[in-house]
Chains A and B, each alone.
Chain A
Amino acid sequence: MALSKEDVKKIATLARLELSEDELEKFSGQLSGILDYMESLNEVDTEGVEPISQVTGLENITFEDEVASCDYNEELIKQTPQDVQDNMIKVKSVF
């Protein structure tokens, strides 16, 4: 599967990643190579096989939905590199 520079740019935008022209060039070659390598999976017969996303067989782990205090609110807010106003993070406008 060959990815063009335009394909890579589109994926990068979807992933909110700004790339330079040089990076677009480099990654389109590298990602195409990686995807080619992945193609070998098509040799495996997976007819009727369930896909799995975990391996220990756990199901529906639940806990009581209770209000609890968080003792580090202030420290979390302090971690922002943006301005803070009235305990809220101030970001740039959308437009």
Chain B
Amino acid sequence: MENLTIAEANQGLKDGKFTSVELTQAYLEKAKADDLNSYISVTEEMALEQAKTADSKGDFTTPLTGIPMNLKDLVCVKGTQTTAGSKILKGFKPAYTADFAERLLNTGAVLLGKTNTDEFAMGGSNETSAYGPVKNPWDKERVPGGSSGGPAASVAADQAVYAIGSDTGGSIRQPASFCSTVGLKVTYGRVPRHGVTAYASSFDTIGPITKTVEDAAMVLNTIAGKSDKDSTTPDVDVPDYTKALNKDIKGIKVGVPKEFFAEGVEEETKKIVEAGIETLKALGAEVKEVSLPLTKYAIPAYYILVKSEASTNMARYDGVKYGHTTDDAKELLEIYMKSRGEGFGDEVKRAIMLGTYTLSAGYFDAYYLKAAKVRNLIKQEYEKMFEEVDVLATPVSPFPAFKIGEKIDDPVAMYSADILTTPINLAGVPALSVPAGFTEAGLPVGMQLIAKQFAEETLLHVGYAFEQATDFHTKRPS
């Protein structure tokens, strides 16, 4: 039971090669032997119970039944510690389960545990986690990317069959790229956010991190769709995404935006992604160069808006309702000030202060309002682009995984690294990271495919064709 995809594990269960309990035990062993710090908690008892239930029902027609996975530790699961990577939520056990997680559990999914994340998903390296950095399984001195570093590292290292992460500005795609897994950032609203600790509510999305594109389609089938618990989920039909998996991409129009290959993107990364685009061409896609001139304004617009939203979302952590409280308060104000001062890490403090500043009277117009206008322009730029092309193909990150500690004290350098992923969140469109190769030093590089809102099928179609024509996704770290 090594390196199983969902499809393979499901076949094994159907054929009676192993039971869900055996499969779950095998993956629990790997999760418990975790030397990457990808798991914050392992939910062994719950997992075995769920596996027993799946075995006793014995019906594996829905592909996720009896398959062990993990959830980024931002996802509330009733009675299970949910830390959001923060000290302020250490020991916090939610009273309810996230709606999308309920969908997974109702289909018989087995929860192995909760995986590491940058604190409240604020970070791109998993180093802001209060539970320590995660190591990249391809090079343990390097970051796995973030904020879904735990989910991505755990899937790459086969500590789970698949995982669920969240993507606010690249937090699924960039770790997927750094760890050589598939990562799908869905259209805003495609998967309900209910029960997922909020970072920036108008940007946050939930999606799968898997070993293959087919697996991503299978997970999306279960978690996508309108929810009465999240009013920002539009009533858009959920197709059978596995039907989109088709090797023929003849005539598909692929745009290559030149700004995504500009200065700052490392040569090796460019070459690997350019070779990926050549593969698409060889498969019959029509490739042309296009331009998205507002790309360079994505980072400032994105960071103003998300830190503003984050500062209001973080207001609920008050040392009173739940989570950490100070033992050094004489009056109410001190409970707030000290509990928050003690409980939050640096990046969250920066976010709260930056957001408080950009939303404050006198600065609101110059920062927040300006950024909200630029967001509209970027959204329009993408809408226009998708009148011309079906997908865009770009790198995910300007460079492969960097060393632990390399950028952590330089917030501007850390934010700039998100240049190729944040425009997608501003436009609210979906994007997929697929393994596209390795650098000379053996570090993975992902290719990003981007499509118009609710065109996840197009991404899965092109991603699948690319994956079938290449073997990068079959390579695992040693």
Contacts and interface: CB of A to CB of B under 8 A. Distances in A.
A38 B349 contact: no
A51 B373 contact: yes
A38 to B, nearest CB: 4
Contacts of A31: 350, 353-354, 357
Interface stretch (B47-55, B67-75, B325-333): B325-333
A49 B377 contact: yes
Interface residues of B, number: 71
A61 B231 contact: yes
Contacts, number: 169
A7 B105 CA distance: 48
Contact of B373 (A46, A92, A94): A46
Contact of B411 (A30, A52, A79, A93): A30
A43 B296 CA distance: 11
A38 B418 CA distance: 14
A91 B335 contact: yes
Given A19-B341, A76-B95, A89 B352 contact: no
B331 A17 contact: no
Interface stretch (B314-322, B399-407, B455-463): B314-322
A53 B372 contact: yes
Interface string B282-324: 0000000000001011011101100000010001001111111
B338 A37 contact: no
A41 B371 contact: yes
Contacts of A56: 187-189, 232, 234, 428, 453
A50 B379 CA distance: 12
B427 interface: yes
A9 to B, nearest CB: 10
> Which of A19, A52, A93 has its CB near the most chain B CB atoms (within 10 A)?
A52
B232 A81 contact: no
Contacts of B332: 91-94
Interface string B27-53: 000000000000000000000000000
Contacts of A11: 353, 356-357, 360
A48 to B, nearest CB: 9
A51 B369 contact: yes
Closest 7 CB pairs between A and B? Answer: A55-B428, A51-B372, A18-B341, A79-B322, A75-B95, A46-B373, A61-B231
7 contacts: A17-B340, A18-B338, A18-B340, A39-B300, A42-B370, A49-B374, A55-B379
Interface of B: 92-93, 95-96, 187-189, 202, 228, 231-232, 234, 294, 296-297, 299-301, 303-304, 311, 315, 318-325, 329-338, 340-342, 344, 346, 349-350, 352-354, 356-357, 360, 367, 369-377, 379, 411-412, 415, 426-428, 453
Given A40-B296, A49-B373, A82-B320, 10 more contacts: A15-B352, A16-B318, A18-B337, A34-B415, A38-B300, A41-B301, A56-B234, A61-B232, A63-B231, A91-B332
